[in-house]
Structure 1
Amino acid sequence: MLELFAPIAAACDLTVAEQDKRPIAIVGAGVIVDVAHLPAYRRAGLDVVGIYDLNADRAAQVAARHGVEKVYRSLDELLLDERVEVVDIAVAPQAQPAVVRQALRAGKHLLCQKPFAPDEETGKELVALARKLDLQIAVNQQLRFDEGIAAARAMVRAGWIGHPTAMSVTVNIATDWTAWEWLLTTDRLEIMFHSIHYLDAIRSILGDPVRVFCTGSRTPGQLPKGETRTMSTLVYPGDVRALVHVTHENRTGDPEALFRIDGSEGSIKGTLGLLYNYPDGRPDTLEVNSRILPTDGWLPYPVTTRWIPDAFAGPMGSLLKAISTGSTPETTASDNLHTLRLLHALYDSMDTGESRALESS
């Protein structure tokens, strides 16, 4: 059966072609840049020429750990560096729009953190500015590039399970939010800064839902202000449905992080290995049961890479290829506006206790 997996593995390939590589600078030197962005870029052979952070000491330490040549003294200095063609923005979401505007006006292509913008109108403004300046913006929705998710999506697209009918993500973990102090005081937490990964991944497989329902809550004694337990239901035309059920207050030491896609002719199921011992992680697991192939029961797919750091090369590699070829990145900012719209519909449902329709635009 291994020959059947060759096109699936090709769809998960994170290799960046030499002709696509170009100099990158990073704005932000927080935890995720240290443990994910820079290790992934190094493995992919990408050229990170410099880094800037408001905390100069932290930027210097991160640069030294990863062999980054230049620590910029200011954002202006970074944007004036003519070597830099691409800027990876990894700052808190409230600071991102201003950095995006400044970087676009300096003529840089951008990889932005998610959520891309605080609201859809701001997101549309930034997309319009990039279009006007003929520049590319991609969004760092890297779970789409995680090997387990990418392989599952390729299997669905290959028709291995027939017509998809349902997808579910179940995550029950203990999350230490203290690495991101600003997250401890935000009113919007779980959907906006964690389940955004799963919701975007579901969109990459099933497309956009037409109606959603969401409920969220806190756990007695939790440290963060915002919701840490959520249940999100996505309704698609016909009988297709998706469910995301997440809790971050697992106090019994038995984490789980599962996903499953059911179809008319089979199913795919797997685990998100990163979440079993974050941030070190372990490879995902993935299995397919198909009447199309056919398989004899559940057939394992050999996942070899990890969400952190490996998948972080995906959005950047996709952006670099789009710049070289004049094509569209996999996680373009325009597409990410649909993910942003979905998040806000879920919060509206959470606040009102009612389901919400999603208008297409």
Structure 2
Amino acid sequence: MDIQSINWRPKLGDRTNFGIGFVGCGGIVQYGHIPAYKKAGFHMVAAYDLKREAAEAVRDLTGGSATVHDSLDALLADPAVEIVDIAVMPWVQHEIVQKVAAAGKHMLCQKPLSLNFDQAVDIVNMAHQAGVKQAVNHQMRWDSGIAAARQMIEQGAIGTPTDAQIQVSSATPWHMWPWLASAPRLEVQYHSIHYIDSMRFLFGMPEWLTSRHAKYAGQGDVKAETKSITIMDYADGLQAMVAVNHYNMHGETHAVFRFYGTEGAIEGTIGLMYNYPSGRPDTLVYRQQGRDPIELPLDEMWIPDAFVGPMAGLMSAIETDGVPPTDSADNLNTLRLVEAAYLSASENRSVALAGFLEG
């Protein structure tokens, strides 16, 4: 196939001037959301944070287009705000969603949707009952390498998928997120959730999941797992593996994806993880036995560029009265996989997904 024809960039709808109001204005909004939204030409109109200086920083980064509000209620009362972009800690997201839904505003929620599965279901139900669109910010689906691989797989480039791997070994700068040190769940809940969601995006739900978690001997005050290996087995024989180590203190950073099939292979790198957070663009190579490898040039990376995708998808869903690509109801399946990973690790067994946490 002609992989040079692959258009992996996020697709924008006809209308992209929905007013976006930020709730939570921390680092990820400042170096992820805002640069991506500026690039896409999105309309950022409001900001609120418990720390007013954070909201003021967002206002400045938007070039002054975002009005700083003194309360969540004030932001929700602003008629210019049509979409609320929530970027808060997961344990406070429920109460914020409750107010956003009551105000009749569409919303893009932070991941994980909740640390409690039943509460996540309630978050989904609140949006449904309010008749508003609700998406989850699983932006890795629009990371250039993953987005291109999805199109190639759909077009038959590798034939029937037989094996999938995402492997990351890096020295993670935990000082960027000091609150994570005391988290009872860490690596899978906050990091590998991206890779697990990407596997589900590419290949659907597995039948079985097996996960093993470990700690690094020198991780100090960091309480929970910082290394994990998760294997997902599919009915057709496909096996998908996510293996992550956050304490590669001496070797070279290694952040790769490999998707193999009966007719070919897709191999690439997750550029963001090299010298994080500066990073570099992803790479992708297509291979077939007996043929020269073909490289697909990529010029974007996960943060900030992929952040266009979830918001663009939500806007299109509002415009067409459709379903966002990262619809919160569908996102419950990603949370099911995360919960299965922790159950598997705690009980030293594989978990069958059929019927697991299904209502």
TM-score tier (shorter): over 0.9
1:106-145 C-alpha deviation (Å, 9 max, x unpaired):
0110100111122222222222221222110000000000
- Map 1:133-144; keep pairs closer than 5 Å: 133-144=130-141
Counterpart contact for 1:20–1:324, Cα < 8 Å: no
Gaps of 5+ in 1: none
Letter in 2 for 1:254: E
1:298 to 293, 308, 325: 293
The CA distance in 1 between the partners of 2:94 and 2:184, in whole Å, is 20
Indicate yes or no: 2:21 matched with 1:41: no
2:17 to 21, 24, 27: 21
Shift of 1:78: 0.5
What fraction of aligned residue pairs are identical, expressed as a percent? Answer: 42
TM-score calculated relative to the size of structure 1: 0.95
What secondary structure is seen at the aligned counterpart in 2 of 1:209? coil
TM-score calculated relative to the size of structure 2: 0.95
Indicate yes or no: 2:64 matched with 1:63: no
Q: Residue in 1 aligned with 2:100?
A: 103
Letter in 2 for 1:116: L
Shift of 1:331: 0.6
The CA distance in 2 between the partners of 1:42 and 1:343, in whole Å, is 32
Runs of 4+ deviating beyond 3 Å: none
Q: Residue in 2 aligned with 1:238?
A: 236
Indicate yes or no: 2:124 matched with 1:127: yes
1:285 to 283, 286, 291: 283
Q: Residue in 2 aligned with 1:249?
A: 247
Q: Residue in 1 aligned with 2:46?
A: 50
Letter in 2 for 1:65: L
Gaps of 5+ in 2: none
Q: Residue in 2 aligned with 1:88?
A: 85
Counterpart contact for 2:271–2:283, Cα < 8 Å: yes
Counterpart contact for 1:29–1:58, Cα < 8 Å: yes
Indicate yes or no: 2:4 matched with 1:5: yes
What secondary structure is seen at the aligned counterpart in 1 of 2:76? helix
The CA distance in 2 between the partners of 1:15 and 1:35, in whole Å, is 22
1:258-291 C-alpha deviation (Å, 9 max, x unpaired):
0100101111010000000111111100011147
Letter in 2 for 1:244: V
1:306-356 C-alpha deviation (Å, 9 max, x unpaired):
111110010000000000001111111011100000000000111111111
1:314 to 309, 316, 319: 309
1:222 to 213, 219, 222: 219
Indicate yes or no: 2:319 matched with 1:324: yes
1:139-161 C-alpha deviation (Å, 9 max, x unpaired):
00000001110000100000011
**RMSD between aligned residues:** 1.4
Counterpart contact for 1:119–1:340, Cα < 8 Å: no
Q: Residue in 2 aligned with 1:30?
A: 26
The CA distance in 2 between the partners of 1:210 and 1:21, in whole Å, is 41
Q: Residue in 2 aligned with 1:209?
A: 206
Letter in 2 for 1:37: H
2:271 to 259, 270, 273: 273
The CA distance in 1 between the partners of 2:145 and 2:315, in whole Å, is 23
Indicate yes or no: 2:342 matched with 1:347: yes
Shift of 1:57: 1.5
The CA distance in 1 between the partners of 2:142 and 2:11, in whole Å, is 12
1:188 to 185, 199, 211: 185
Letter in 1 for 2:116: D
Q: Aligned pairs, how many?
A: 354
The CA distance in 2 between the partners of 1:17 and 1:337, in whole Å, is 25
Indicate yes or no: 2:95 matched with 1:116: no
The CA distance in 2 between the partners of 1:212 and 1:70, in whole Å, is 46
Shift of 1:253: 4.6
Indicate yes or no: 2:153 matched with 1:147: no
Shift of 1:4: 4.4
The CA distance in 1 between the partners of 2:340 and 2:228, in whole Å, is 14
Q: Residue in 2 aligned with 1:264?
A: 262
Letter in 1 for 2:243: H
Counterpart contact for 2:19–2:44, Cα < 8 Å: yes
Shift of 1:18: 4.6
The CA distance in 2 between the partners of 1:82 and 1:62, in whole Å, is 19
Indicate yes or no: 2:169 matched with 1:177: no
